[in-house]
Structures are given as C-alpha cells and as structure tokens.
Structure 1
C-alpha cells in the first residue's frame, strides 16, 4: 500500500483551535503506527516547525485525548512562515528530523501556507479541515463546527429563559468574521427572530419592521448576529434597536471564545477520526496537496487551491426557513 515509501509523518495543528483536533491527532498517530510508520508531532504549528519543536509520538501520547477540546500539539499563527527564510528553516528542520510527509490540521491560512511550502520544497502534505466556521469547500462539515453550534444553542437556550422571564430582547453575537454559518444554523436551531450574517446585506429598516410587526404576545425575542455582519455587530444593532424601541428592554450577549472550547461532540469525534485515518492512508497511496473532507457521507479530496479560494454559498433554503419559522 505504501507506494510513496513514506516512513515518518509529521502532524500539526495551526490557526484557531477547534473541538475535535485532538481526535484527529489521535487518529493520525494510531493509523501511522498501525502501518508501522513513525509519527512526529510538531508543536505550535508552523512556528514549531521552524524552531524544531518536534516530538516522536507513541500510542500513549494520544491516550485519553479524544474527549478533550483544544489541541495537545498547541497552535499558533506564524508570521515568520510567511517569509521565504522562515519556510527554508522549516524545511531544514523536517529534513533534520527525517519527516517525509505532513498532515496539516487547520483552515484557510494553514492550507495556504502548505500550498506555498509544497511549491518550494515538494514535501507531500495532506490537510484536514479543522475550523469551527465550516467555511471550506470540499467537505459538508469541518472539524469543530458541530460542537460550536451546539455550544451556541446551549448558551442561547439559557439566554432565552431569562429573556422570557423579563420580557427582553437579546441580541446575541456569535463567531463568524467572514462566514455566517454558525449564526445561520444555530439561529434556526434556537428559533431566533432574526439572523444577521456577512453573506447577505443587512437591511436595518426591514429588521426594525420585523420586530415591530412580530407577535405582540412573544415574551422574548432573540436576534443572532455573526461578528462579521456588515451592520457592525451586536452593539451597533442594539444601538439602532434601542433608538427605535426605547421602551423595549434590549440586552447584548457576546458569546466569544466559549464557542471554540469544550469536549467535542460525537459527530466531531467520528468525523475527525475518519479524516485522520484517511490522511495517513492517502499519503501512503501517493496523494498530495489535497484537503480531505466528507461529502454525502463519503471521503472526498479537494485540491488546496480549490479549498482555500472559495467560501461555500449560503443555502437559500436555510434563509427561507428563517423567514418562515420566525413569525
């Protein structure tokens, strides 16, 4: 099976952490060992690759981590790797530690760096989509997305309780600087009255009209807004709403980084495990420079150039569902 004659696979996590990264690391390590390969953990992403922060992984290195959030290999954004000098140092460290190929777990920035690195040094690399934003082409879901939206749903359900108790309007801001997929799916799941996302232009007048004409017997109202929404985020929306409806008790809640943490959901653990196994096997088969995802329940390969250049379009059916169900 090992057509590529790979003997030592390096694995690292880069960019923002996401629940399920540890499950992916575990799958890469144990699959490598299953096929009698060495697996080298690279700590702190590309920064660790440059500085030589490499550690040979064993079975016990990944014991009891599948349920843990974050990443045992740590993560960092590396400015030095953006330079030719930094990438040369990284390559020299890989050669020094006899690493033949790489599994890179991360998102857009991680794959962009891996693509450039391959152009320069031809080190085989496979990417796993580890980001809570679910904004990569080539997979139905990214590692961490399911956990993140369930974290949001849990938080908003609690906010709804206090909103109903006080007849309040809550504007809840969730992560999503460039993508509104967390806001969209969690907003539908929590029965939000409105969902504001970067992919669609926010019509403030329409939002105010919607709030004004919505059922008067509603004891609570929830607006979900992605942080990258063009109207300016939760506080800006709240300011406009308070000016229009000064008698409405309006509050803002910023969920922030709780969306990144916590134990991964079962879906994320299984997804990460499937992708981690496929990453090792695909490198052994000679595949390279591709992101592995799951599309319609099956393993799917997408060239880095396609995965990193496009954001998925928002499903218009979901937008229609929001309008219908928030009456």
Structure 2
C-alpha cells in the first residue's frame, strides 16, 4: 500500500481494544500509517498494538474525560507526530424499556457515544487543522431510523450524525474534512451479546432479509479505511444502506407498526428485559467508569 496517502501518517482510533476498532488498527497499519490506539483495557490494547506491522502507541483513556484526552493528544504528538486522521469509534449500548432502564446506564450510553465523540474531536482538532486532516465519526443504521428498546443508543447515534454535519461545516475552511460511517450489523461482542436477548433478537428478525445480515469487522474496517483515504463525507456498510437516506422519513411509521404488533406478545412472555451494558466493551466501560475518582 505504498501509494496510500496514509503512509507515515498518524491515525487515532478510539475504542480500539476489539471489534471494529482493532480491525481498523490493522487496516490502517497495512496502509503504512502510524497507529494510536485509545480506549479502556490496556492489556487488550497492548495485544492489538503488538500484532501491528508498524509503529503504534497505546493510550488508556476514557473518551468522556477531557483532561485525559488532552493528555493523550499530547502523548500521541510526542510519540508519533501530528495526527492526520481520527476515527471516533468508541461506543457502548444497552437495551430494554426506557421506563425501567437504569438512568445512570442510559446516560452513560449518551456520554460515551455522543459526548465522547465530541470530546475526541475537541482534543485532536488542533492537529487535524495543522495537517488538513480527516475526522471520521462512526454512526449507525440507528442514525437513520430509531428502534424501540434501544432509546439511548438510537439517540446517541442520531446525535453523532448531527454533530458530524455541524462540525464539517465549521472546519471545512480550515482544510479539515469530516465523514460519517453508517454501519449496520457488524459481528462484534456487542451484537453477539444483543442476540442473547429474545426481544433484541426478534426485533432484528423483523427487519428485511438484507438488513438482518451480519458483516465482518474486517470488511467494515476496509471500507472505512478507504473512506478516510478518499476523505469521503459518508460511507455505508453495507453499501445498500445509502438507499435508506432518501426514505428515512418513512421509517418511523413502519417501525411503529411492527412494534405495536410484536411488543405486546414479548411483554406477555416477560421477554422485554433490561440488558445492562452489552458486550465485553460495555462491561469494561462500566468497570472503568466505576473505578474513576468520585464514582461508586
């Protein structure tokens, strides 16, 4: 990949301990980039860094902590040079009825997914302005159409889409480009954990067949990395997801009709339960958050 514009450039990936983040680290490294891996679980981050073919730096930080992110930006700059691209990939999810959800867990999803993305941008934008770099925000099908029983996740992903659009208009004259990655179901710990819960599994089963398919993190990482190379404003995984954009206003009535038919039966079967944080990444975030000063 000697012809890649990412050769010898520094790329930051948040949420890099596993899943899409780890796959992105490998994809960027294969293009000759220097990689900064940021997230919880330092042993897992160290293992990813050790498996990369080129220079890498590991930074254990909470994306909702602005001081930690500022320190991380300084460390990356010192170790690998000014940052040319940032992928705001860190994210958590929980499922279940909004009314019975734990308020702290619900808010944490918003904090990590939305506030954490904004804090990441704030910390690394000075470098991106210097390098005329690219910021890629990882969003979701949930940014295009909300689903019941995932209110915090859907709200956060709709929020990051709006944030990215706003940021793009604000920094374009500085030479910084901003892209949004719309992802459907990817084979990650989060999605596999969601499939353990009957209500979330059944909601996915009611989607059209192409929309149910689970895609590999490596395929997603390939497409996202190529989008960064080309400074794309949007990338869709799978590609057909772009067809949802022009009809997104029609989705809420469809979702409402399916939910009215499906949820009463699931509630009668006592299948509508709170999941708590989904996947190993969600559990790691909860543990790290509780260890933080002032937390219990």
Larger gyration radius, structure 1 or structure 2: 1
Structure number with the bigger relative contact order (C-alpha 8 A, sep ≥ 6) is 1
Q: Which one has a larger percent helix, Structure 1 or Structure 2?
A: 2
Bin of the TM-score, shorter chain as denominator length: 0.3 to 0.5
Per the normalisation by structure 2, the TM-score is: 0.43
Per the normalisation by structure 1, the TM-score is: 0.40
